[in-house]
Amino acid sequence: MSLSVRRLAPALLFVLTLPTALQAAIYIPNKTADTNDGVCDSDCSLREAIAAANQNPGENVILLHAGTYTLTTSGPANGNLQIQGGTVLIGDGAGRTVIDGGGRGGIFYIPSGVTVHMQDLTLRNGRSSGAGGAIHNQGDLTLLRTILTGNSSVAGAAGPGQGGAILSDGASPSLTIADSTISNNTAQGAGGGITAGANVSLTNVTVTGNRSTANLGGGLYFFTDIRATINNVTIAGNTAAVKGGGILVETNIFIGLTPKVTNSIIAGNSAPVAPDCAGGLETSYDLIGNAADCPGPSAANHDRVGTAASPLDPRLGPLAGNGGPTPTLALLAGSPAINAGNPSTPGSSTGACATTDQRDTRRPGATTCDIGAFEATAACVAGGNTLCLNNGRFKVTANWQTPTANGAATAVDLNGNNGYFWFLDPDSVEVTAKILNNCAANGHYWLYLGGMTNARVDLTITDTQTGQAKTYTNPSGQAFRTLINRVTFACP
């Protein structure tokens, strides 16, 4: 298993320091098939690992190898996989470990009083008939470096179809999400991305492409009892059929709770009424595209605010693997979100920007940070579709195309000087790239490219110090030709 020490060590330390009476255990499924013989032994599925953890007292850990775990057996209406006890579920990276709901209901259900931590996963294709397309949470849930995409919730026996990706409701649930992406989920009822009440914390989260097809809150829908803090979040490109394309907050004059939104973007969403936001928000250093229907945002709070007549364009790129473990919406040149966040040192106080952005890129301490989940920087940020070579000086990306499909290649760094790209299968190496510093030999960086594909490949290398970029193309239908270029970029 290729879990990194950085990701694995905290979980193991947590388990090993628990009192022995709790009998915490580590379970490692060794198959992606959704079987269930009632035992997690030498033959163990994800479903069997969860069942075993449910029977074992203490905070148990489940480690998932890279692969796609598709659910083929239907479960209860409120969630196919029922987590009944404290559980830490760790994947091998959101781009490599996928739990696919198989369209057989919501993926996870977490009851009241249960604490669950999930990280480095993708949850997709959950189809809930009632509530929470991927997750129905009534307990204490934390998500880290996780992607929730392509999930949906429609009206059914379990509810009106709320929370395309997540429904967090109940007596006193808690939902914490960081460094994650909620994209392209759908709810027939409220909250195309997330519907939640009680305690919610979102930091460095991208919420985009979600839809409420017949109701309110395309991206987020908050109940009246919400106690939410939102910092360095980007909410853009979401749609609601009725009202609140980006976010809708239920109002109740007797409760009077208002989500605190700081250093965040709510813009470019759509709905017939209140396209970006509806309901009160407590804001500071935010960018609101159209704040006409959400009292709170104002220039007095250091917000950048547009109107219905003149919406403010945040200038965002498409959802892409811009480095880091989860996809983001990059800030394009000229974005009004650049250098417009709280001027306090990131991480220094309440209301300050988070120390890093969603890609784990450190936000500047000497200059003002950016609004939203993405910090604009000229430096190369590895991960997603980006390979950083030769101590991060060179940014390498690749796009592939066949007669029937196309896309951005996923990058895997090996040792700083070389790495590779895969197209559809994480275990299939398609193109390799290596850049060596041979300044002492001939005053240039040397480039080596190789591949095992006959697809069209456009590979672009950018020198982050000079801005110079070069693109190499392998034509469609031609076996990838090895390239050695000893004069690719001149040394300084």
Q: pLDDT tens, position by position, for the chain (492 residues)?
A: 233 322 333 333 333 334 444 467 999 999 999 999 989 999 999 999 999 999 998 889 999 999 999 999 988 888 899 999 999 999 999 999 999 999 999 999 999 999 999 999 999 999 999 889 999 999 999 999 999 999 999 988 767 889 999 999 999 999 999 999 999 999 999 999 999 999 999 999 999 999 999 999 999 999 999 999 999 999 999 999 999 999 999 986 555 579 999 999 999 999 999 999 999 999 999 999 999 999 899 999 999 999 999 999 999 999 999 999 999 999 999 999 999 999 999 999 889 999 999 999 999 876 799 999 999 988 899 999 999 999 889 999 999 999 999 999 999 999 888 999 999 988 899 999 999 999 998 999 999 999 999 999 999 999 998 889 999 999 999 999 999 999 989 998
- The total of structural domains in the chain comes to 2
Any domain includes 364: no
What pLDDT does 16 receive? 36
What pLDDT does 236 receive? 98
Cα–Cα distance between 281 and 295 in angstroms, integer? Answer: 6
Q: What's the longest Cα–Cα distance across the chain?
A: 75
Do 409 and 294 share a domain, yes or no?
Answer: no
Dihedral (Cα; 248, 148, 129, 67), 10-degree rounding:
180
What pLDDT does 326 receive? 97
Kindly give, in sequence order, each residue whose CB lies less than 8 Å from that of residue 272, ignoring residues fewer than 6 positions away: 241, 242, 243
What pLDDT does 58 receive? 84
Any domain includes 472: yes
What pLDDT does 419 receive? 95
What pLDDT does 255 receive? 56
Residue where a domain stops, chosen among 271, 286, 318: 318
What pLDDT does 108 receive? 97
Q: Which candidate, 449, 453, 448, 423, places its Cα nearest to that of 438?
A: 448
Do 61 and 164 share a domain, yes or no?
Answer: yes
What pLDDT does 12 receive? 36
What pLDDT does 492 receive? 81
What pLDDT does 23 receive? 65
What pLDDT does 460 receive? 96
Do 411 and 284 share a domain, yes or no?
Answer: no
State how beta strands 60-63 and 444-451 pair: unpaired
- DSSP assignment of 375-421 equals ---SS---BTTBEEETTTTEEEEEEEE-SS-EEEPEEEESSSSEEEE
Do 310 and 392 share a domain, yes or no?
Answer: no
pTM: 0.90
Its domain, for residue 207, covers 5-318
What pLDDT does 38 receive? 87
Cα–Cα distance between 471 and 460 in angstroms, integer? Answer: 4
Do 300 and 393 share a domain, yes or no?
Answer: no
SS3 301: helix
SS3 170: coil
What pLDDT does 11 receive? 34
- DSSP assignment of 134-151 equals SEEESSEEEEES-EEES-
What pLDDT does 427 receive? 86
Do 81 and 196 share a domain, yes or no?
Answer: yes
Residue where a domain stops, chosen among 318, 340, 356: 318
Residue where a domain stops, chosen among 296, 318, 340: 318
Do 188 and 266 share a domain, yes or no?
Answer: yes
What pLDDT does 248 receive? 97
What pLDDT does 256 receive? 55
Cα–Cα distance between 248 and 186 in angstroms, integer? Answer: 15
What pLDDT does 15 receive? 37
Do 90 and 181 share a domain, yes or no?
Answer: yes
Q: How far is CA 337 from the centre of its chain?
A: 20
CB 413 within 8 A of CB 387: yes
Cα–Cα distance between 350 and 370 in angstroms, integer? Answer: 16
State how beta strands 444-451 and 431-438 pair: antiparallel
What pLDDT does 10 receive? 33
Helices and strands, counts by H and E, the chain: 3, 43
